[in-house]
Amino acid sequence: MSALHEMGVTELAAALRAREVSSVELTEAFLARIARHQGELNAFISITAEGALAQAAAADERLRTDGAPPLTGVPIAHKDIFCTREVKTTCGSRMLANFVSPYDATVVERLRAAGVVMLGKTNMDEFAMGSSNETSFFGPVRNPWDTSRVPGGSSGGSAAAVAARLAPAATATDTGGSIRQPAALCGVTGIKPTYGRVSRYGMIAFASSLDQGGLITISAEDAALLLGAMAGFDERDSTSVELPVPDYAAALDQPLKGLKIGLVKEFFDEGLDGAIKQHLLAALEVLRAQGALLKDVSLPSLPLSVPTYYVVATAECSSNLARFDGVRYGYRCENPRDLLDLYQRSRGEGFGAEVKRRIMTGTYVLSAGYYDAFYLKAQRVRQLISNDFERAFHEVDVLIGPTTPTTAFELGAKSGDPVTMYLNDIYTIGANLAGLPAMSVPCGLAQDLPVGMQIIGPHFAEERLLNVAHRYQRETDWHRRIAPRFA
Amino acid sequence: MSLNRGDIENIARLARLALSEQEIPLYVEGLSRILVLVGELAPADTGQIEPMAHPLPGQRARLRADVATHTDAHDLYQRNAPQVQAGLYLVPRVIE
């Protein structure tokens, strides 16, 4: 048996069931790793040791009986955007620094019902707005491969925690790349499901037409197991889709012979780092050797995805974040003069710089006289981008390209200019605008920093994406590599 | 497209955000840069294209029957409130 922290969710679930290890032992092992590395990585906002050990003891009881659910006793972490009763949910913000949700998010509820133990809540960019995890009120997260570099964002804490094996898996969310980009920069597997596949109930809203919950794991096999437990219809989310959840694990080994892979011309542009391109071409060769066919495709409107996103997402953000008014919950300023002063100072002091920048951008693009020129125009271009994807999926089964234009950058390197930061998401945003499922899979190391391969599929093609990723991971070991200091 | 100090003050007022003196020039610059980026959309040919209304084709937000599904959790919800009294949320006086 490998060391406990090297094992993924699938292996751990099997080891627990075979009684090779108890959930308490496993939980203690991960809590010890968290305690040892939290100081240098800052991957967690809350560490729930006491609750985790109580849940683990209960899981060990259940494992002694028949009919324990499949993930019984497996410890994982939740991104601090998912509401949890009894443990604070901060969303990385001063605004919610002391907020304790009166209910659990559907994702939390379902995973608990499937048997998981919660180790804690992971750090993130404030309200999921950021690509470097530097906007968190609780301080930046550091990349386990090089602690002078960012882990990506917004799910930077989840990605760093799994990369350093402080947890075998973590939940995450993706509005413009917030699962895939940090997964790529930290060398772990990330999946953003189709819009509507995973319930958004209890997942704090940023941009409601783009937000989707998903996972950061070691392997596609682990993602298949966890996604099966957390996906599915939820009447409490009005955009949740009423479709049955397939057995994702059952489709993993399906042969790739005849699979048509589209190589998006716009993804292999001059902005792409040369070493990343080389690793991608090598990865495509691994898939071609298994019988997949490669075909060039073009998505001509895709280069407009970043400006489209920064209209649509900010407009929705300004509307969603209007609820934080210092009255019913959240931060309130000291000694407000009157009601307007209470609203303005509570929001001005409770939100960080990037969140305020996006609220103001959104307010502007929705304001009288600008709505047609910005918001409606962006929603029209969004339709063009969506049409491009639809056309491409008439010709190919999946699209493959890079997840990020570069590997992890130094802390502070891009925080001075919002637009430079936004361009990190140039390859990931398209899938959110079109509501498509997408993954990032580790496919190499460039100067000792991880490189991610992105796989995008048609709506509800999660099975196919997991299958392609798994067949790739059967032939390679990039996803098993751990940064030397954490091995 | 570039914004000035007055524009930022007006947007901040609409968004109910108090900004400090030091923040204003940062937002003048930041939002101006973002609007240059967003300006790339203007030349796109969208004449015959309807604005996208839902990320999934053919889907619409679902409505539910208008029946009460939750029990009263007033006390639970008020545990997060900055200031309450006798079950009411307190704010500064609005009517003199």
User: Is B65 contained in some domain?
Assistant: no
User: Domain range spanning residue B36?
Assistant: 5-41
- Name the minimum distance, in Å, from the CA of A17 to any CA of chain B: 38
B23 lies within 8 A of chain A by CB: yes
Q: Quick check: is A79 catalytic?
A: yes
Residue B89 covered by a domain: no
Residue B96 lies in a domain: no
Tell me whether B42 touches chain A (CB under 8 Å).
Answer: yes
Q: B33–A361: do the CB atoms touch at under 8 Å?
A: no
Does pTM top 0.90 for this prediction?
Answer: yes
Instruction: Say yes or no for a CB contact (<8 Å) between B15 and A367.
Output: no
B14 contacts A367? CB cut-off 8 A: yes
How many whole angstroms separate alpha carbon A170 and alpha carbon A236? 23
Q: Would an 8 Å CB–CB cutoff place B62 in contact with chain A?
A: yes
pLDDT tens figures, B67-87? 988 888 899 999 999 999 999
Q: B-chain residues within 8 Å CB-CB of A237?
A: none
Buried b (16+ CB within 10 A) or exposed e, A449-459: bbbbbbbbbbb
B24 in any annotated domain: yes
Per-residue pLDDT of chain A (487 residues; tens, 9 = 90+): 679 999 999 999 999 999 999 999 999 999 999 999 999 999 999 999 999 999 999 999 999 998 999 999 999 999 999 999 989 999 999 999 999 999 999 999 999 999 999 999 999 999 999 999 999 999 999 999 999 999 999 999 999 999 999 999 999 999 999 999 999 999 999 999 999 999 999 999 999 999 999 999 999 999 999 999 999 999 999 999 999 999 999 999 999 999 999 999 999 988 899 999 999 999 999 999 999 999 999 999 999 999 999 999 999 999 999 999 999 999 999 999 999 999 999 999 999 999 999 999 999 999 989 999 999 999 999 999 999 999 999 999 999 999 999 999 999 999 888 898 999 899 999 999 999 999 999 999 999 999 999 999 999 999 999 999 999 999 999 999 999 999 9
Buried b (16+ CB within 10 A) or exposed e, A195-219: bbbbbbbbbbbbbbbbbbbbbbbbb
Residue B1 has pLDDT above 70, yes or no: no
User: Which tens digits make up the pLDDT trace of B11-38?
Assistant: 999 999 999 999 999 999 999 999 999 9
Q: ipTM of this predicted complex?
A: 0.96
Does A139 lie at the interface with B, CB-CB under 8 angstroms?
no
How many distinct structural domains can be found in chain B?
1
B21 in any annotated domain: yes
CA B56 to chain A, closest CA, distance in angstroms equals: 6
Contact B44/A384, CB-based, under 8 Å? yes
Best mutation target among A317, A351, A361, A426 (most B Cβ atoms within 10 Å) is A361
Is B54 part of the contact surface with chain A (CB cutoff 8 Å)?
yes
Based on the residue annotation, tell me whether A265 is a catalytic residue of this protein: no
What are the structural domains of chain A?
A: 4-257+466-486 (3.90.1300.10), 303-379 (no CATH)
